[in-house]
Amino acid sequence: MPTYDYRCDANGRTLEARHSMNRKIRTWGELCALLEIEPGATASDVPVRKVFSGGHVVKSENLGSGEAPPCQGGTGPSCGRGMCGI
C-alpha cells in the first residue's frame, strides 16, 4: 500500500498515512481517524491536502540487502543533502 503525506494548513502539521490509491482523504478528521489519533484542537472538518514530493529513489542493487546504500554526494550517510544512495 502506498504512503502519502497530508498537510493541514490550519495547524501546520504534516502527517504520513498509508492507504489504497483510490481512497480520498479530504479533512483533518478523516486523516486522524485513519491514523487512529485524536484531532486535538483542530476542527474535524478542516481541509487537508496531499503533499507531493519528489519521491525516493532506490537503486535495484540495494533492494533486500539489509544495508543502507553508500553516500554518493557528501562526506557520509548524514551528509544532509538527502541524496544518499542515488
In angstroms, the first-to-last Cα distance of the chain is: 23
Q: What is the pLDDT of residues 25-57, one digit of tens each?
A: 999 999 999 999 999 999 999 999 999 865 555
Q: Say if residue 80's pLDDT is above 70.
A: no
Could you give phi then psi for residue 40, rounded to 5 degrees? Answer: 65, -145
DSSP state of 29: H
Q: Say if residue 78's pLDDT is above 80.
A: no
Three cell numbers written together for 37: 489519533
Higher pLDDT, 67 or 16: 16
Q: Collapse the DSSP code of 19 into the 3-class scheme (helix H, G, I; strand E, B; otherwise coil) and give the result.
A: coil
Q: Are strands 13-18 and 3-8 parallel, antiparallel or unpaired?
A: antiparallel
pLDDT of residue 42: 97
Residue type, 64: G
Helix or strand holding residue 69 (H, E): none
pLDDT of residue 44: 97
Q: What is the pLDDT of residues 6-17, one digit of tens each?
A: 999 999 999 999
What are the helix and strand counts (H, E) for the chain?
A: 1, 3
